[in-house]
Structure 1
Amino acid sequence: MINARQATPADAGELMRLRKVMLDSMRPDPAPSGDWERTGAAVLSQQLGDPAGMLAAFVVDRPDGTGLAACVVGAVDQRLPNPGDPTGLRGYVYNVATDPAHRRRGYSRACMIALIGWYATRGVSVVDLRATRDGEPLYTDLGFHRTDDPAMRLYVPTP
């Protein structure tokens, strides 16, 4: 049985390392290292330390105990309710990553199942994610489906 545990602030550095693994797997060139990694670790340290927080991560430790083999990070966003989402609580899954040496062992599945359970305890009935082709079979098997909602994005210039 695979043991997915809830991450703690002490896991922040490893979570960011796995974030880079995920980003690198989605791009032709590796993501550059930089301040974003330290900023991300600080954000994770702060938010994972808040027991009533709206962010959680679930991880599987490497079998040899030298770090993390896999992770998932998810957040809860309070939106305005609607008929299909009466609480307005929306989950968003991001940063599903497994070290290449530990793939195809069910680690990401165990992390996702733990996160879905965390959402359920918070009354979140709608969860969104973006899937790569490699990840889509896992998410479909867990009950996710493609939606008709078109996505758009704006990058706001900041001073």
Structure 2
Amino acid sequence: MITVRRAGPSDAAELVRLRAVMIRDAFDGEEPPPGEWREIAERQFRARLADSAGLLAAFVVDRPDDPQRLAACAVGSVDTRIASPHSLSGESGYIFNVATDPAYRRRGFSRACMEDLIEWFAKRGVARVTLHASPDGEPGYRALGFTAPRHTALQLDLWDRSAQDG
């Protein structure tokens, strides 16, 4: 049996560690750089997880051999828009940090975290949840009911534009 719990502010450092694992895996094993981003991310996690009614939630599984550290996590946030026929709350969800420590993979930990996170979104009245899947993660997300979007997703990287201007 897998025990999933909602993360709190004291889990911030471990969530950042698992975020680095996820980033490394997304970029073909290239270790994310140390530095300011980790400190900022930890502060953000601490502040946002302190608000239990807030727009961010993380669900975690503790390491069986060391409950002070995390084996897996799934983190998501709510984006508030305007009501529509498909979403009376106007809220949509985004999952952006699903990671499992390499030593604990293939045990169902991330899936269990995802199931609790999806339930959290559902209880809020969120009508649609989006995520970006790696090729390795895509089959698991599809098994949870995720499908390709109906419309083309586009993005504009403003950080890239400001780097070119500077």
Same fold at TM > 0.5: yes
CA shift for structure 1 position 75:
0.3
**1:120-159 deviation line (CA, Å, top 9, x unaligned):** 1111121111111111111111111011322222222388
Q: Deviations over 1:91-130 (max 9, x none)?
A: 1001100011100000000000010111111111211111
Q: Percent identity?
A: 50
How many residue pairs were aligned? 159
State the alpha-carbon separation in 1 of the partners of residues 110 and 10 from structure 2. Answer: 20
Aligned 1:45-124 pairs, distance under 5 A: 45-65=46-66, 66-124=68-126
Please give the per-residue CA displacement for 1:51-78, whole angstroms capped at 9, x wherever unaligned.
Answer: 2100000000000124000001100111
CA distance in 2, matches of 1:69, 1:53: 24
Give the Å deviation of 1:83: 2.4
Between stretches 73-82 and 34-43, larger displacement belongs to: 73-82
TM-score (norm 1): 0.95
Q: Distance in 1 between matches of 2:150 and 2:118?
A: 22
| Cα displacement (A) at 1:87 | 2.3
| TM-score of the aligned structures, taking structure 2 as reference length | 0.91
The answer to whether the Cα contact below 8 Å between 2:86 and 2:127 also exists between their aligned partners in 1 is: no
Runs of 4+ with deviation above 6 angstroms: none
**Alignment check: 8 A CA contact 2:60 2:72 kept:** yes
Shift of 1:31: 1.1
Higher helix fraction (1 or 2): 2
Aligned equivalents of 2:153, 2:37: Cα separation in 1: 25
Aligned alpha-carbon RMSD (Å): 1.4
Change (3 A) 1:120 1:148: closer
Q: Unmatched 5+ residue regions in structure 2?
A: none
5+ residue gaps in structure 1? none
